[in-house]
Each structure stands twice: as structure tokens, then as C-alpha cells.
Amino acid sequence: MNTAKKVKSALISVFHKDGLEPIIKKLNELNVTIYSTGGTENFIKSLGVEVVPVEDLTSYPSILGGRVKTLHPKVFGGILSRRDHVGDVAQLDQYEIPEIDVVIVDLYPFEDTVASGASDVDIIEKIDIGGISLIRAAAKNFKDVVCVSSMNQYDEFLNILEEGKGKITLDQRKKFAAKAFAVSSNYDTAIFKYLNEDEVAFRESFNKVSPLRYGENPHQKGYFYGDLDGLFEKLHGKELSYNNLLDVDAAVNLMNEFRGEKPTFAVMKHNNACGIAQRDTILQAYVDALAGDPVSAFGGILIANTKIDKATAKEIHKLFCEVVIAPEYDEEALEVLKGKKNRIILVQKEINMPATQYRTALNGVLYQEKDNITDDRSMLKPVTELQASEKEIEDLLFASKICKNTKSNTIVLVKDMQLCASGTGQTSRIDALKQAIEKANHFNFDLKGAVMASDAFFPFPDSVEIADQAGIKAVIQPGGSIKDQLSIDYCNAHKMSMVFTGIRHFKH
């Protein structure tokens, strides 16, 4: 059966007119009757194309300041009527309702209005009623009607019109219907999220999708939903993979802890920092970050909190790395870094990151606020007789920021604003500490005078005892164990300082 239908009539009501002109002219060339209203009607007239005002069809003007224009049986009857249904056809004849074969709608920009900081009144007025109703009606009746529901679909629709000489197949109409319901569900989700204050339901929606080469492993399909271009400007390299994106997310979250501070450089691997340092120059910060674990750095993600210059780029170029991220680069630095054709180079833009996070779990979704608390001086509660020195406090806070962004259970060892080693993702805190000490020793770090950070409390004094034996003399941890005093007593007996923050930083 030939499912292609010749387009004879179209209703057009759009907010954005960009890209609409070629469609109007093509419809006119195909002798399609065009219905429209308001600003879209005036735009079509300005092109010298004949247009039937919706008001002439409905015998009603646009009312309530434009809130009601197309909401009328003579409009929706023409869209929803089943062309092969005898009763529908008879009623169209009875009430003199013309069939409408194409609906082109571009909704009021609700999300953009919210993002602009507009008033509540202005935002509410950008909740489209007529447009969303037209989309749902046309998409429901895709057997007979094609729905173009966004300006992003203009080019595709125009190509179909041209290639089919005005005929559109059932498969094409169905695909546009699916896109239409994606647009409407995303729009409704944005409105819900703006109005909702009680978290009575979970709703998320992303219009942009990027197919990935594969998921976590080659046999898994993978996609990224979201606006990467809003966060990064990609200057060079291949496409980001699923695993790249997870590491980039971890890198961005970690480096956000050091925004506006002295030059800081981090090397990430499997969502954890394998090296990070803060120095007077970005070059030295990179060199010392790499020294933290030059083995794990191979194939890692590199991120800086300040401009990368040529000297730093030349050092980076010696290392095989997947991604380099910075707020900006010297031109000469870019020339160097682009020497590897697949190396991904990203400029990170200044935007507000989401304040919540979620992930699938069992047959549902886990949702929570992000851990947006960063330990600072005001939170430190000294609990030992010996007080941490100024230098130790700086190292403790540096270590705490790393610890917060490392997989639990974790122990982080820092000396002179440089990560010596960390124990990551261990099933016990004591194992994390032993792993960190062993790794630091392997890379020839002298832990005498180093500090230790823990993402959660010590249930027993064994951790501070092992740390003491390794040369560590200052500790930062949340506290809260019923046996805190045992760890405090050990520190007092062995001239160690310890501070509590009262904030746990689990990361699973």
C-alpha cells in the first residue's frame, strides 16, 4: 500500500522564524493552503505568500492578549479528523472544517526565559498552551498529519518536501510524531521543574543526544544526553568516549574545588586523581602532579585551573593522554598539543553545574543533592593537644578537597600541596591507608611531615597508628565514631595533631 500522502494544507504558528522562509516558499510552490495567525501570519505575508488567517477559519479573533488563538474545534477538528473514518469526514463537511495535513510549531522559549532570570510573570507567560496542544494533536494523528515541532526540524522537513515533491510517507510522519512527543515531554518537564518545590516526582529530560562509539565496553551501546557545547569548546581531537566523559566529569568536579586559587593541575584516571599539585606556575604544578603517579597518568585526563602556556604544553606533549582541559591556552601551546591528532583539547566555559545528581539503581533512580560542601578553616575543630601548624592546615584542606572527590573508602596523603598518594575504592579504611603508603613509597615520596585526609571517621585507632609509623603527623577527618577518643588519645601520646570537620564525604 502506498502510504505517501500529498500535502494540501498547513497550519503554521512558530516563535522562531529563522529557517522558515524556504519552507513557506516550497509550500506555496506546491499550491498548499497555508493557515496562520499573529506574528507568523505577518511574516508569511511579508514574503508575498498568500495566507489564510486562523481568525477567518474560526470566526473568532485572537483573545486574552494572545493566550487563545488556535484553540478551536475548526482548527483541532481539521488536525484530528481520521481521513478514512466515515463519521469524521461527515462531521468535517457538516461543520465546514478543512483538513489540515501539516502542523508546524515552534514553542515559546520557556527554558531560555527561565535561564535569563526573567520575572515569574514573564516566565508563566512563556508557558505555551496553543502550540503544545497543536503538537500533541498532530502527532497523535500521524497516520494523516505530519507535525514539525521545532525549528531544529525545519531543514529535515524541507528536504522531505523537495524529495517527495510534496508527498510524505507514513514512516516519515511517524518519525516526526516521535520527535513531537519528545519535544512536548521535554517542555512539560522544564515547566514541572520550575514550579515543583516538593520533589513529588522525578522528571528529567534532555533534547540533545550524542551517540558514542560504544558504552563502558565495546559490546555496549552508549549515548550522552545533554549540551556538551554549553560546557566545553572542543578545539581538537577525536570524539569523547563514554569512559572519557566519566573521567572528564570527575576532573571538572575536582578542579572546581580550586577555582580562583593558585595554579593547580590534576591528572585523572578512572574517576580518581592519580596526581595533583598547586604551585606558583602551571608548569611546576603539572610536573609535580605527574610525579604523583607517572605510571597511571598514561592515557589519563589532564585538567588545569588556569591558562596552559607553551612550556607546560611541551611537557604534556611527552605524555600520552586522552584529554586536556583548561579555561584557556596560549596559541603556541595549542600548536604543540595539536601535535597528536587524536588528543582531545577542551576549553572549559564558566557555567553553573547542576546542584543535584541521580543514577539508576535496581528498578528505579537514586536522586540526591550534590556534595557541595567544601571543608574550610571555619569548619576545623582541633581535638588534640598539639595544634596543626599553618603549613599543615593548608595541606590538610588541600588533601580534604581531593578526598571529597575520590572513590570511597579513601585515604589521601599530601605534602607541600602535592598529592603523594591515595588509597581509593577500598573495602576498609585501613586497606586504603596501606595502599596509599605503599604507593607513596613506590614513587619515592618522603612521608615525614605529610598529612592524611579520610573521607569518613576512623572506627579504631589503628589508622592513626599506621600513619604515625609512616611519618605522618597531621590528620583531618569528619569525626563521629563512638571510639573517636581512642584515635585522639593515640595522637596525643605520639605528638600528632588532628582536626574534625563534622562532614563526611563518601563517594560511591
Burial class (CB in 10 A: 0-12, 13-18, 19+), 412: buried
Our answer to whether residue 270 is catalytic in this structure is yes
Contact 311, 271 (CB under 8 A): no
| Cα gap 187→111, rounded to integer Å | 8
Find the mean pLDDT for residues 480-487.
96
Largest CA distance in the chain: 97
Residue 189 confidence (pLDDT) above 60: yes
Residue 128 confidence (pLDDT) above 50: yes
Contact 414, 451 (CB under 8 A): yes
Find the mean pLDDT for residues 168-183.
94
Strand-pair partners of 494: none
Predicted pLDDT of residue 2: 55
Single-letter amino acid code for the residue at 104:
I
Our answer to whether residue 140 is catalytic in this structure is yes
Find the mean pLDDT for residues 37-62.
88
pLDDT digits (tens, 9 = 90+) for 440-472: 999 999 999 999 999 999 999 999 999 999 999
Predicted pLDDT of residue 4: 86
Copy the grid coordinates of residue 244.
572519557
* Most confident option among 9-23, 44-58, 371-385: 371-385
**3-state SS assignment for residue 265:** strand
**Dihedral sign computed on CA atoms, order 388, 391, 394, 396:** negative
Contact 238, 344 (CB under 8 A): yes
pLDDT digits (tens, 9 = 90+) for 349-406: 988 888 889 999 999 989 899 999 999 999 999 999 999 999 999 999 999 999 999 9
The pTM is what? 0.82
- Quick one: what percent of the chain has pLDDT higher than 70? 99
Copy the grid coordinates of residue 491.
595522637
Single-letter amino acid code for the residue at 414:
V
Predicted pLDDT of residue 20: 93
Find the mean pLDDT for residues 67-94.
86
- Rounded to 5°, angle at Cα 245 from 242 and 249: 145
Q: Which candidate in 8, 140, 314, 338 is catalytic?
A: 140
**3-state SS assignment for residue 111:** helix
Average per-residue pLDDT for the chain:
93
Predicted pLDDT of residue 95: 84
- Please name the residues in contact with 124: beta carbons below 8 A apart, sequence gap of 6 or more: none
DSSP 8-class letter at 146: E
Q: Which candidate in 8, 270, 310, 434 is catalytic?
A: 270
Single-letter amino acid code for the residue at 196:
N
Predicted pLDDT of residue 460: 93
Copy the grid coordinates of residue 296.
597511571
pLDDT digits (tens, 9 = 90+) for 403-427: 999 999 999 999 999 999 999 999 9
Residue 1 confidence (pLDDT) above 50: no
